[in-house]
Amino acid sequence: MIIRFLQRHREASVALIIVFLFAILGLVDRSYLSFDTVLLVYGNSLILFVLAIGATMVMATHGLDVSVGSIMGLAAVVAGLLMNAGWGIPASIGVALLIGLLCGLFNGALVSLLNVSAIVATLGTLGLYRGLVHLLSGGAWIEGLPENFKALTKAGSLGLSPVAWLVLVLLIVAHLCLRYTAFGRAMFAVGDNREGARLIGIRVNEVQIAAYGLNGLLSALAGVIFASQIGFIPNTAGTGMEMRAIASSVLGGVSLLGGTGTVLGAALGAYFMTSIDSILVLLRLEAYWNDIIAGAILLVVLITDGKIREAVDHHLRYQKYRKFIDPQAAGQHADAAKAAARPLNTTLETSEARK
């Protein structure tokens, strides 16, 4: 019963793990267990939230984008250079987002129009965009960003910064869009069955390119948030974020094979990835334990999930063919049916026992 519920709501299992993490924190020191801690982790995971939304869209179309870290860096550098050149903050951010959108559309065109496999295409653009970062910045850090820009991520009303409110709105809008609008459903349809989606009248290529384009736009936003949070822009801004974004989404139940997943799940995954970080700091453990714990939990979740899915498949197959292998229903052929059913029954029993 519980397993069935967790299977249907993958988000719930991540939520459980997060609650568990906070429970450990509470056991160590009651005073940490406050709304402030929750907000602190939320503030630290803004970048990953934004990236996870994009990753969910791309993965829904059975794609993958490993270039998001480089797009982040590129957008941050563009915004930084323009601001230091005297441009207004909104204009600089606008141009940075536009660059991100173009990068994403280029990825989408490679994948969808030229039929290059997603991982190979974005692997190439990962290097390409990172090189552009170095070309633009000339290899130097960009410093001296305007104070008003940094203030965008300083805590404001109700303990949340303006950007944090924006991300919250984005999460809700993206979740609703992907679940309830035609465009959102089209992405999942393309990922689940590309040819089938084409036959029911979905513009497959456009949907795919749009998913990559939006992902590029969101990555650029993540880059801008990054620049605002740390106040300067190193050349390595965003490296390695692609793996964290993909891991967050996968943890939250978005399938790399396309067609399933929710933004809510991906966001919870992202929240979990960050909460390990923050909680280790609060527990006064060295930060280097982070990756090994994240990796171990990721693997445990993935392997259990795979096992549960296998068991559910077995169960469904059993329901489908039960009338053929049930001795009562089979009537006079009972003996033959029983003999035939034996191998299937034993596998079913083991899978039931495992549950």
Nearer to another protein, 92 or 248 (CB): 248
**CA-wise closest residue to 213 among 131, 136, 113, 90:** 113
Judged by CB under 8 A, the residue of 117, 148, 346, 350 near another protein is 117
Amino acid in the structure at residue 182: A
Query: Residue holding tokens 């009562």?
Result: 328
Beta bridge partners of 142: 233
CA distance 230 to 226: 6
CB of 240 to another protein, least distance (A): 7
Query: Residue holding tokens 């930084």?
Result: 80
CA distance 117 to 189: 19
353 contributes a contact to another protein by CB under 8 A: no
Please give the residues from 97 up to 116 whose contact with another protein meets the rule CB under 8 A: 110, 114-116
CA distance 352 to 104: 45
CB of 318 to another protein, least distance (A): 18
Cα separations in angstroms, 67 against 46, 119, 212, 225, 292: 19, 9, 11, 17, 24
CB of 158 to another protein, least distance (A): 34
Phi (first) and psi of residue 252, to 5 degrees: -85, 10
CA distance 78 to 137: 9
Residue span 256-295 as binding mask against another protein, x where in contact by CB under 8 A, dash where not: xx----------------------------x-xxxxxxxx
Nearer to another protein, 160 or 281 (CB): 281
Cα separations in angstroms, 341 against 164, 321, 330: 58, 10, 11
Please give the residues from 21 up to 80 whose contact with another protein meets the rule CB under 8 A: 64, 66
Q: How many residues sit in the footprint of another protein (CB under 8 A)?
A: 51
Please give the residues from 150 up to 189 whose contact with another protein meets the rule CB under 8 A: none
Judged by CB under 8 A, the residue of 190, 305, 348, 351 near another protein is 305
Judged by CB under 8 A, the residue of 46, 76, 103, 126 near another protein is 126
Phi (first) and psi of residue 145, to 5 degrees: -70, 150
Nearer to another protein, 184 or 223 (CB): 223
> Contact positions toward another protein, by CB under 8 A?
64, 66, 110, 114-117, 119-121, 123-135, 139, 235, 240, 243, 246-247, 250, 256-257, 286, 288-296, 298-299, 302-303, 305-307, 309-310
